[in-house]
Amino acid sequence: MEQQQQQLLHFCDSKHPLVFDHDYRGGVPCCGCQESVYGPSYCCLRGGYWHWKDTIHHKSCAELPLGLHHPLHPIHPLILSPYQIDYGKDIQFSNCKLCNESRNQYTYRCSRCDFNLHITCASLLPTLEAEAELHDHPLTRIWKWITFTCDLCGKEDKDMPFLCTTCGFWIHRTCAYQFPRIVKIVRHRHLLHLTHSSLEFHQSDSRFCQICVQKVDTRYGLYYCSRCDFVVHLNCAIDRRNKEDINLQEFKDVDEVPELNEPADSATYEVKKSNKKEDGTQIVEEIKHISHEHDLKLTNEVPNNQICDGCVRAILPPFYSCVKCRFFLHESCAKLPPKKQHPLHQHPLILLPMKPSEWFRCKACSQPCNGFTYKCEKCKFYLDVQCSLISDILTHEGHEHPLILSYITHKQKCSCCSNESDQVFRCSTCEFALDYKCATLPHTTRYNQHEHPFTLCYRLEDNSGEYYCDICEKERDLKHWFYYCEDCSYPAHPKCILEEYPKYKFGGAYTFDCHPHPVTLVEKTKDHPPCHICNDPLEYFIYQCVQCNFNMHEFCALKG
């Protein structure tokens, strides 16, 4: 039988009881004290829906007594008054007698003496209710507004702090509820524990956060995994983008949360034909993949200038191909797991092939793609295959040190192209940063009819002092990566070699009701005529019929 929810009838809403939530994490301001709510709380459950905005309270604020005798005003009782009450034109609220400030929060008032105490100033609780979750000793409330540095968040502020008289530990009231003792982040497989620096670290320890890759001041609070020596800033760990969306009560403190990645199986393809080699290795020669209507056969004969429909990279053996149409799939792309967890998102991602007329913009590299995607349906979060394969720790030929994924709110500049992104791979040793777009550049590639392949270069090809792109003939930035054909001494910008849509597969043959012939997906050029359906200029991607010189927008083709 389901346990009945704890309820409270409060003067803020006489018609509806407030319902208890043991661990609210929304951070909405409390109606009583106007500070963010984290942890035990009450709110209104009206008509089966939570009404946080109007009636959210800390548990302690909701359970305040309606009247009290206070040592600062012993001659009369003080009555709890919400700030919404209209006392008329002749009565003005005076400032709080303790903090001498006027704030929109519940107040204990003696109307006879015009004496007011904010509820945060009037608190008679000798110790902090959440002491077991935060500190090993009782934390005592200080009844004066003082300027101090919080020993948990490290910020200097004016507040009425909690103090541990045993070890001299001072913290903000909001910090007492904001940071849970245990968190689970997407980036790490173990649970992280709220740690005070005095317990685990020496003040001279040099640490950096494994999420933002910025320095951590170990004199103050942090989240820590002692098994892996893994350190995270407090705010980075509780950021909703980084916290894993799981119920921590299902796990013990030392438990590892199971990996979400799954091996490729019947969920992605069905084996149609297989053989065994002499050494006993099984070779899957023919499959039926969820991404294609026809069976695919394994082959090593590389076709000219063909692209994998999964990762949208040049086809290399071994790969699967369709004998009925021009569909190609690397063996590794055919075996991609149907579900995986990625460090950029807190929910599991599902592998989905795109339909021929569909495309998406990758959340990691911000480039359009019409290959396979890992998608979170709940958040409309998309990753292309290339970005999904990069872990949060990257070893790249273009830099001598390991790079760690840095995911923060402000933009960071990539050292290799100068573009800015809130998610880059940062070096903890030097100032080098690499965005997803540059991290997924192919090591070698071809360009149009050029006879030799181009190689991605990270350092200048000579000491001439003049560096230009041989395609666009514009000057190249000395710090930026470039492609180079050593046989022809031919340097070029990556965007000139790979063109505007490097993760988009053009070509193919598609049929639409609005045109009698098969059409081909092509990229717009300067000399393209307007769309033959709507007569507007063509942009981005175009469906073209070479047979009758017919051109139409992508959305016109789908609409027609």
Instruction: State the DSSP H helix or E strand holding residue 350, giving kind and residue range, or none if neither.
Output: strand 349-352
| Tens digit of each residue's pLDDT (9 = 90 or more) over 514-555 | 888 888 888 776 677 788 888 887 767 788 888 888 888 877
Indicate the pLDDT class of residue 242, thresholds 50, 70 and 90: confident
* Pair of tokens at residue 17: 């009881």
Structural Rg of the chain based on CA atoms:
31
User: What phi and psi, each to the nearest 5 degrees, are found at residue 325?
Assistant: -150, 170
Indicate the pLDDT class of residue 132, thresholds 50, 70 and 90: very low
| Tens digit of each residue's pLDDT (9 = 90 or more) over 109-128 | 888 888 888 887 776 554 55
Cβ pair 139, 169 in contact under 8 A = yes
Instruction: Specify the DSSP class assigned to residue 173.
Output: H
Question: Can you give the pLDDT at residue 360?
Answer: 92
Mean pLDDT, residues 27-31: 84
- Per-residue HEC secondary structure of 489-548 comes to CEEECHHHHHCCCCCCCCEEEEEECCEEEEEEEEECCCCCCCCCCCCCCCCCEEEEECCC
Does residue 556 have a pLDDT over 50? yes
First-to-last C-alpha distance (Å) of the chain: 56
Cα gap 326→309, rounded to integer Å? 10
Indicate the pLDDT class of residue 458, thresholds 50, 70 and 90: very high
Residues in CB range of 238: below 8 A, 6 or more apart: 178, 179, 180, 183
Mean pLDDT, residues 135-159: 83
Residues in CB range of 124: below 8 A, 6 or more apart: 68, 70
Instruction: Specify the DSSP class assigned to residue 197.
Output: H
Residue 25 burial (C-beta neighbours within 10 Å; 0-12, 13-18, 19+): middle
Q: Pick the range with the lowest mean pLDDT from 202-211, 239-248, 438-447.
A: 202-211
* Between residues 79 and 100, the one the model is more confident about: 79
User: What phi and psi, each to the nearest 5 degrees, are found at residue 494?
Assistant: -60, -40
pTM (2 d.p.)? 0.72
Residue 76's closest CA among 97, 99, 46, 105?
97
Maximum separation of any 2 CA atoms in the chain, in Å: 99
Q: What percent of the chain has pLDDT over 90?
A: 30
DSSP state string for 305-324: T-B-TTT-SB--SSEEE-SS
Q: What is the layout of strands, in order, in the sheet containing 230-232? A: 182-183, 192-195, 222-225, 230-232
* Between residues 50 and 249, the one the model is more confident about: 249
| Tens digit of each residue's pLDDT (9 = 90 or more) over 45-64 | 765 455 545 578 888 888 88
Question: Can you give the pLDDT at residue 101?
Answer: 76
| Tens digit of each residue's pLDDT (9 = 90 or more) over 1-10 | 334 468 887 7
Indicate the pLDDT class of residue 365, thresholds 50, 70 and 90: very high
Question: Is the bond into 318 cis (omega within 30 degrees of 0)?
Answer: yes
Q: What is the layout of strands, in order, in the sheet containing 373-376? A: 339-340, 349-352, 373-376, 381-384
Q: What share of the chain is helix, strand, coil (3-state, %, to 5)?
A: 10, 35, 55
* Pair of tokens at residue 279: 């050494």
Q: Where on the phi/psi map is residue 498: left (φ > 0), alpha (ψ -120 to 50), or beta?
A: alpha
Question: Can you give the pLDDT at residue 165?
Answer: 81
Question: Can you give the pLDDT at residue 254?
Answer: 54
Beta bridge partners of 194: 223
* Pair of tokens at residue 180: 């849970």
Does residue 489 have a pLDDT over 70? yes
Residue 328's closest CA among 285, 370, 298, 364?
298
Secondary structure (3-state) at 334: helix
Cα gap 123→533, rounded to integer Å? 72
Cα gap 34→53, rounded to integer Å? 11
| Tens digit of each residue's pLDDT (9 = 90 or more) over 287-302 | 999 999 999 999 988 7
Does residue 258 have a pLDDT over 70? no
Does residue 434 have a pLDDT over 50? yes
Indicate the pLDDT class of residue 480, thresholds 50, 70 and 90: very high
Question: Can you give the pLDDT at residue 199?
Answer: 52
Task: Sort strands 393-394 and 403-413 into parallel, antiparallel or unpaired.
Answer: antiparallel
Cα gap 368→283, rounded to integer Å? 34
| Tens digit of each residue's pLDDT (9 = 90 or more) over 179-191 | 888 889 988 888 9
Residue 329 one-letter amino acid: L
Does residue 270 have a pLDDT over 60? yes
Cα gap 347→246, rounded to integer Å? 9
- Sign of the C-alpha dihedral computed for residues 423, 424, 425 and 427 taken in this order: negative
| Tens digit of each residue's pLDDT (9 = 90 or more) over 382-398 | 999 999 999 899 999 99
Question: Can you give the pLDDT at residue 266?
Answer: 47
Cα gap 292→370, rounded to integer Å? 14
Tell me which residue has tokens 């206070």. Answer: 70
Indicate the pLDDT class of residue 177, thresholds 50, 70 and 90: confident
